[in-house]
Amino acid sequence: MVPLLLALTLGAAAPEFEVRTLTGQTVTGTLESFDAQEVTLGTADGPVKLPLAGLMEIVPKQKATPAEGEPGVWVELVDGSTLVGREYTTVQDQARITLLDGRTLDVPAGGVANVRLQAASAEVEAEWSRILDMELTKDLLVLRNDDAVDYHKGHLEDVDETVARFNLDGSLLPIKRSKILGLRYYHPADGNLPEAVCLLGDATGSRWWVSQLALSDGLQWTTPGGLTVARPLAEVTKIDFSGGKIVFLSDLQPESVDYTPYFGAGRDLPVLGKFFGPRMDMNLESGPLKLGNQAYDKGLALHSRTKMVYRLPDRFRRLKAVAGIDDGVRPHGDVRLVIQGDDQVLLDEKLTGTDPPKPIDLDVTGVRRITILVDFGEKLDVADHLDLCEARVTK
């Protein structure tokens, strides 16, 4: 694919970042340089060089301000980068993506894997995920009627703000955008893309796989698909150097979340689901995750009865975590934790507020979906605050 440049105005500020290594070390300072082997960090004690191979992540000390506005399109590129935007159009095999911050990005349509054009319920999200798992021989036009999803095979042509033109068995059909859930493009298998060295998040909510990274009055990166992008450092939310070797569940968007109260009849379930819903990187009281007097920065907090399903973005081997009733409610709490990999039960354990934290290490080789169920125990649902600290999948 021909490299493209998205020219943007770069800020001159030098924000501080925390660089975290795979061994648990944290170094704080300003980013001074990148090359293919290491990053140089300016600290109070002078420059510190850290090898990229030993990094887990780089995060700003001050969180980036999220881009304003509601997403209207979700675009996945052939290299796995996922872009959050306002609009998506194509003309003569050239796609234009208007990102959530209003900037536009021109990409050959051959670089786009799929586009979702509507927000979706959990049921529709599950159908969309199923369609993304299908083997293709042609493009797919995915239609939606309320929660019913259907698709047609053919050839996708130009897409504008109101219609998508779809060639179905030789007939060119203009399909209203309001009826379209998404588009999926067929591309012959191409194993020649460069290897990504990190996954970069920005203030729009987009996540870019990166094969080359450099500092030049800001941050500039090139994706494995050949797209070159520049952003001010203040708009970077995270640079993940674990290279897919480690992915925390709290950083993934669950495919579905279901909460069932113990006494559910006649209750306002959506309100209860929001109040008792899972928390990411905090406990159910919005405080730090804490087990056995140890605080954790990463993890999930779930109330009984909560069921979460994750579609894994890549092939992983192990699911690891430390599970237990949060210190803030111990010695109360009594739950049953069930973890499934696809249709196989990997763990079925009773956990109470008097039990010590339980290390979890499960084989998830070949698993595409992980289901986590925190079920009721023997004492109603009182203090059923389960923490899954450091919950992550690894290669």
The first and second tokens of residue 262, run together, are 């113990």
Per-residue pLDDT tens for 193-229? 888 889 999 999 999 999 999 998 789 999 999 999 9
Distances (CA, A) of 349 to 41, 82, 158, 252, 319: 44, 36, 53, 24, 15
Q: Same domain for 241 and 252? A: no
The first and second tokens of residue 361, run together, are 């290490």
Scan for tokens 């150097």, then name that residue.
241
Q: Same domain for 81 and 146? A: yes
Q: Which of 215, 245, 275 is the last residue of a domain?
A: 245
The C-alpha atoms of residue 157 and residue 163 are separated, in whole angstroms, by 10
- Is 192 part of a structural domain of the chain? no
Q: Same domain for 230 and 159? A: no
Please report which helix (H) or strand (E) contains residue 276, including its range.
Answer: none
Beta carbons within 10 angstroms of residue 304's beta carbon: 26
The first and second tokens of residue 109, run together, are 């349509």
- Is 117 part of a structural domain of the chain? yes
Per-residue pLDDT tens for 68-80? 989 999 999 999 9
- Is 199 part of a structural domain of the chain? no
The C-alpha atoms of residue 323 and residue 332 are separated, in whole angstroms, by 15
Per-residue pLDDT tens for 102-111? 999 999 989 9
Is the pLDDT at 325 greater than 70, yes or no?
yes
Q: Same domain for 252 and 384? A: yes
Q: What is the DSSP string of 9-53?
A: PPP----EEEEEETTS-EEEEEEEEE-SSEEEEEETTEEEEEEGG
Position 292: which residue type? G
DSSP state of 364: -
Q: Same domain for 266 and 390? A: yes
Q: Same domain for 232 and 153? A: no
Q: What is the DSSP string of 113-138?
A: EEEE-S---HHHHHHHHHHHTS--SS
- Is 191 part of a structural domain of the chain? no
- In contact, 84 and 205? CB cutoff 8 Å: yes
The first and second tokens of residue 63, run together, are 């969180």
Looking at the chain, the whole-number percentage of residues with pLDDT higher than 90 is 69
Top-confidence residue, 267 or 335 = 335
Q: Same domain for 108 and 38? A: no
How does strand 4-6 pair with strand 227-231?
parallel
Q: Same domain for 116 and 154? A: yes
Per-residue pLDDT tens for 222-273? 999 999 999 999 999 999 987 667 888 999 989 999 988 876 544 555 555 5
Q: Same domain for 99 and 158? A: yes
Domain harbouring 39, CATH code:
2.30.30.100
The C-alpha atoms of residue 168 and residue 155 are separated, in whole angstroms, by 7
Is the pLDDT at 166 greater than 60, yes or no?
yes
The first and second tokens of residue 252, run together, are 């993934």
Q: Same domain for 346 and 377? A: yes
Q: What values do phi and psi take at 248, rounded to 5? A: -80, 135
Instruction: Determine the pLDDT at residue 280.
Output: 94
- Is 42 part of a structural domain of the chain? yes
Q: How many structural domains is the chain composed of?
A: 3
Q: Which of 192, 226, 245 is the last residue of a domain?
A: 245
- Is 189 part of a structural domain of the chain? no
Q: Which of 245, 271, 293 is the last residue of a domain?
A: 245
Q: Same domain for 240 and 274? A: no
- In contact, 259 and 241? CB cutoff 8 Å: no
Scan for tokens 């928390």, then name that residue.
279
- Is 200 part of a structural domain of the chain? no
Domain that holds residue 359: 248-394
What is the side-by-side order of every strand in the sheet holding 212-215?
Answer: 4-6, 227-231, 219-222, 212-215
Q: Same domain for 105 and 180? A: yes
Q: Phi-psi bin for 58: left (phi > 0), alpha (psi -120 to 50), beta? A: beta
The first and second tokens of residue 190, run together, are 């191409």
Altogether, the residues listed in the chain come to a count of 395
